[in-house]
Amino acid sequence: MWQYKKIIPGLILTTIIALISIILSNYITIGAISISIIIGILIKNLFLKENHVLLDGISFSEKNILSFAIILLGSQLNLNSILLNYKIIILIILIIIITITGTYYIGKKIGLSKNISMLIAIGNGICGSAAIAGLSKILNSKKEDIGISITTINMLGTISIFIIPFFLINIFPIYNNEQMGFIIGTTIQAFGQVTATGFIINENVGEFSIIIKMLRILMLGPILIIINYIFNKNNDETNTKIKIPFFIIGFLLISIISSLGIMPDQIIENMKLTSKLLLAIAMAGIGLTISLKNLFNQGLKIISFSIISFSIQIVFIAMIALFFI
């Protein structure tokens, strides 16, 4: 019982941060996840000492709560609504693979660790914070790596809400609605950012970009399984079996159940809301463990790498949309 009591103070703090972040996200363009991790970082570096009573609850938030948040993210997928032709499905899968492998390769070439290179790669390639959070558990990533990856990816996504519509409408007005929706849905990281960007242009672009984004999110489970196999298959030479983290299995199961319509819509909706809260709590926990001093020692190089790789990704996808969509 005492063990559970020890997590309460820190869990209360991360929950309060998450609730504040969700409320603030309704009034500013930054998402709740970004706000949550930023508040956590500020509190950690301005007020918390090295050893404090909140540590156990913070650790519980960033590890256990995160797993359940990822599982419930599967409720955001409705496979029945992704009624796309095979050409678009194949293009999206190829784009995800090329984005992840290309970004990872560039990161390694400029001297970044394989861990943070892959975190940035999957954040750009699939669904931003959720993908980074899921992969971080597989790779046992450092908190600083998780923090700078999530913060950078979300910063790029937030800027893109304004930059991409401006370029598509004013600088390169050569794309139709489906092409613009495809570009937005395959480049921007967070679901909310995709929605905002698409609907800034018009309703048709917004709706199509959401469908494309849903297919990207659908790839999170399979991609994590593949990366888990590649990175962890040699960790134990005496055991040839690959252990699939339970949150990946849970994510896939929930997405299937959500699509089959087995559960009432209200339950699915409640799961979506709960996943949003739990993910914000987990991000607060991660933020509360990040030292800005350590973060800035390597942050500039990582931010520059993220901007360059994301820019290449946008140009690459814009060319695909122009000739194949």
Matching residue, tokens 């790779």: 139
Per-residue pLDDT at 295: 57
| Dihedral angle of Cα 134, 314, 292, 274, to the nearest 10 degrees | -40
- Mean pLDDT, the chain, rounded, equals 82
What does the block give as tokens for 233?
A: 């298959």
Residue 237: pLDDT band (50, 70, 90) is very low
What does the block give as tokens for 41?
A: 């970082």
Per-residue pLDDT at 2: 46
| Model confidence at 179: pLDDT above 90 | yes
Per-residue pLDDT at 1: 47
Question: 3-state class of 238 per DSSP?
Answer: coil
Q: Quote the longest CA-to-CA distance of the chain.
A: 64
Backbone φ and ψ for 5, nearest 5 degrees, come out as -65, -30
Tens of pLDDT, residues 82-108: 555 678 888 999 999 999 999 999 988
Residue 217 CA to residue 125 CA, distance in Å, equals 10
Q: Which of 218, 226, 279 is nearest to 104 (CA)?
A: 226
Q: Which of 189, 114, 183, 198 is nearest to 151 (CA)?
A: 189
| Cα–Cα separations (whole angstroms), residue 151 to 216, 320, 323 | 20, 28, 33
Residues 169-190 have a mean pLDDT of 90
The torsion region of residue 79 among left (phi > 0), alpha (psi -120 to 50) and beta comes to alpha
62 contacts 147 by C-beta, under 8 angstroms: no
Residue 260 CA to residue 132 CA, distance in Å, equals 27
Residue 303: pLDDT band (50, 70, 90) is confident
| Model confidence at 45: pLDDT above 80 | yes
| Model confidence at 199: pLDDT above 50 | yes
Residue 112 CA to residue 276 CA, distance in Å, equals 31
Q: Which of 176, 156, 166, 158 is nearest to 200 (CA)?
A: 166
Q: Which of 160, 185, 105, 181 is nearest to 310 (CA)?
A: 160
Residue 254 CA to residue 232 CA, distance in Å, equals 25
| Model confidence at 240: pLDDT above 50 | no
71 contacts 254 by C-beta, under 8 angstroms: yes
177 contacts 208 by C-beta, under 8 angstroms: yes
Residue 81 CA to residue 64 CA, distance in Å, equals 31
Between 30 and 318, where is the model more confident?
318
Residue 18 CA to residue 24 CA, distance in Å, equals 10
296 contacts 146 by C-beta, under 8 angstroms: no
